[in-house]
Chain A
Amino acid sequence: MKMSDEELVQQIKSVFEDYNDGLGERGWIDLRKKYPEKENKKLPIWWLTGLAASLLLAAGLYFNDTFDTKKIILRANTSSKEHFVTESNNINTNNNSISSSQTDHLANRNGNPIQKTAIQPNKLEKSINSTEQFIAKNADTKGNNPTQEATQGISNPNTSTNPPLTVIENSSSVIAMAKPEEKTIINERTTSGTEPTEQNTKPTKLSTEDFLKQQSKILANNTDKETKKNSAATTTLDVFTGTFFNYHDDNEAKLSAGLGLNANVKVTNNLIFSFGAGISQNKVSYENKVPVEVSQAMFSSKEGTMNMAPSNGAYSATASNDVSFNGRLLSIDLPMVVKFFPSKKQDFYISTGINSSSYITQKYTYNYSWSNFGVKNGEAQVQQETEESGLKGFDFANSAIIAIGINQNIGKNILIFEPYYKPALSTMGDKNLRISSAGLNLKFNFNGNQKK
């Protein structure tokens, strides 16, 4: 190179090394229009996983309690209470006393020490003659210490930490009230704290199994409104599967599918809050009209290789006219909606809400054509790139949910046909895909027919 060439190059380098036109501030404002802060949008995956797991766990535990254990415990509690009162009364009859130290009294009578219990005096006031026979019978059949046995039966429920069923199992036999007892239960509840006014006169000896059956019948026939209210489920569970179309602008719609679980919590008589978790596949295809945000995401994903190594010019094709793009996202969806039942029959509802997603897998394929200095006559070459990623990302409220549900009773459960529309509120996944969808959910609602 000649001297003048070298000097020219040096001059160009020095002149352009810091070509500051003093408009950096304006330049930054321009940049901020394209580069909004988004750090709050993407939540760490562990946070999302934790949230999803918590939701499922909470729903699982709640339903476990609501549909299985709760009723049994209720019944058992009620039974043990009655059981306890009856036995206490029976024991007390021998002493004709109302004092709280009646168990001591019993111990003295039999010559054996008996553990003191916290029996409430007011529940032991009544003495019933017939119970003497019970004690006597027990003494005959079980040995010399009938009161001790009976006291075990009493003391267990009073400690209140032991499950009531243990009490029943521990005692070799229990005294259950026959029909008249039903009245006793009602009286106890309605008079709250006052003494029962009626007592049965013929206690019968029943096996544990018989006793439980009888108690179940009693509770089932109980007309007390409060009891009914307690037993009515305010929360139900849906299992759903859906097929839907993903689309964007005038690009070809793609058929996708999903499935999941929803919990419905009754807020008022005609309003239900529903939330859940599901897995769905979303597919989208852009032919020729690639949105700006997608092409920008394509740029940014390629920077590492594009800028660190000499490029072959392939990325020139990121201009929107010569690119086709296919995206497939397998996502965990977290819908939250409010369902409104306009009619008293509750045979249909209108729901609206939001859906948030995280992504189990993301796969993007783009085809682009490019031309550059080396290609004659503008002839383009076609290239294909595929990108895949694993579990990551969380987009909160990426779509709205608008749906109508039509209920079809099937026994105690409900089959729901739910056509829906999910317009995109924001973008999905690494490539900022803006996906709207419309489809049909088929939901099966467990224990849903308790609506009145």
Chain B
Amino acid sequence: MPDNPGLTKLIASCKKGDLRQQELLYKQFYGYALGICIRYLNNREDALEAANDSFIKVFKSFQSFNEENDFKPWFRKILVNTSLDYKRRSMRFSEALELTDTIPQTIHTSVIDKLSAQDILALMKHLNEIQRTVFNLYEIDGYSHKEIGNLLNIPESSSRTYLTRAKQALQQLLTTHSIYTK
């Protein structure tokens, strides 16, 4: 589905290399880009670098973008891939929590509603890299397990396992969080 006329016009100007229009686009999508990158990289500096690199890729490869399509999903894929590239460069997967025996618990809705970005990031930090990545890819960014398998070069079944563990870990962490916040 194409974007609104204003955005379509802005994209057309950016395609021509108009730097002012590129700046406008940057500022319009800065929050969106940073929000995605920070979920994967978990710190602002890396996220900003990944977001900026993504914008540069967008500006350089705008010609390949079909204006018949929506800009946001296309940009999201660039952001996710760039973030994953950053992650691969450091490639330090912490042997963090291995929560295999967590007891499923129900967390009160009001606790979830009150979670701020910082809270969520803090929670995510407790997941290991691959769990967090799979959780983000599957639950937030809508990738299928097959796509995640291809993207991370892991079997589909592993993707499912990592997702389950990520959720269990989050539940446990939220329970703890809710105890502290009560």
Contact = CB atoms under 8 A, between A and B. Distances in A.
Contacts of B109: 3-4, 7
A375 interface: yes
Contact of A303 (B31, B60, B151, B153): B60
Contacts, number: 158
Interface in B17-65: 17, 19, 23, 26-27, 30-32, 34-36, 38-39, 44, 48, 51-53, 55-57, 59-61, 64
B153 A313 contact: yes
Interface in B61-117: 61, 64, 74, 77-78, 81, 84-85, 88-89, 91, 93, 104, 106-109, 112-113, 115-117
B82 to A, nearest CB: 8
A11 B34 contact: no
B139 A35 contact: no
Contact of A27 (B30, B38, B57): B30
Contacts of B91: 371-372
* Secondary structure call for the B interface: helix
Interface string A1-44: 11111011101110111111101110110110011010100000
A350 B24 CA distance: 51
A31 B153 contact: no
Given A30-B52, A37-B19, A307-B77, A313 B116 contact: no
Contact of A17 (B32, B78, B108, B170): B32
Report, as a range, how many residues of chain A touch the other chain: 35 or more
Interface bracket on B: 35 or more
B35 A316 contact: no
A5 B168 CA distance: 10
A303 B140 contact: no
A31 B120 contact: no
A8 B34 contact: no
A310 B146 CA distance: 9
Interface string B137-158: 0011001000100111111001
Interface centre among A3, A31, A300 (most CB of B within 10 A): A31
A19 B120 CA distance: 12
Nearest to A19: B35
A20 B51 CA distance: 12
Given A21-B44, A313-B151, A373-B130, A307 B140 contact: no
A31 B61 contact: no
A134 interface: no
Interface of B: 17, 19, 23, 26-27, 30-32, 34-36, 38-39, 44, 48, 51-53, 55-57, 59-61, 64, 74, 77-78, 81, 84-85, 88-89, 91, 93, 104, 106-109, 112-113, 115-117, 120, 130, 139-140, 143, 147, 150-155, 158, 167, 170-171, 174
Given A23-B48, A303-B64, 19 more contacts: A4-B109, A4-B174, A8-B107, A11-B112, A15-B117, A16-B36, A19-B35, A27-B51, A31-B26, A37-B19, A307-B78, A307-B81, A310-B147, A311-B81, A313-B84, A318-B85, A372-B88, A372-B152, A374-B153
18 contacts: A1-B167, A4-B112, A5-B170, A8-B174, A12-B139, A15-B120, A17-B35, A18-B32, A20-B31, A28-B26, A300-B61, A307-B78, A308-B64, A311-B151, A315-B85, A316-B89, A319-B89, A374-B154
Interface of A: 1-5, 7-9, 11-13, 15-21, 23-25, 27-28, 30-31, 34-35, 37, 39, 299-300, 303-304, 306-308, 310-313, 315-316, 318-319, 370-375
Q: Which 10 A-B pairs have the closest CB atoms?
A: A19-B35, A20-B31, A316-B88, A16-B35, A374-B153, A18-B31, A24-B30, A303-B61, A31-B52, A310-B150
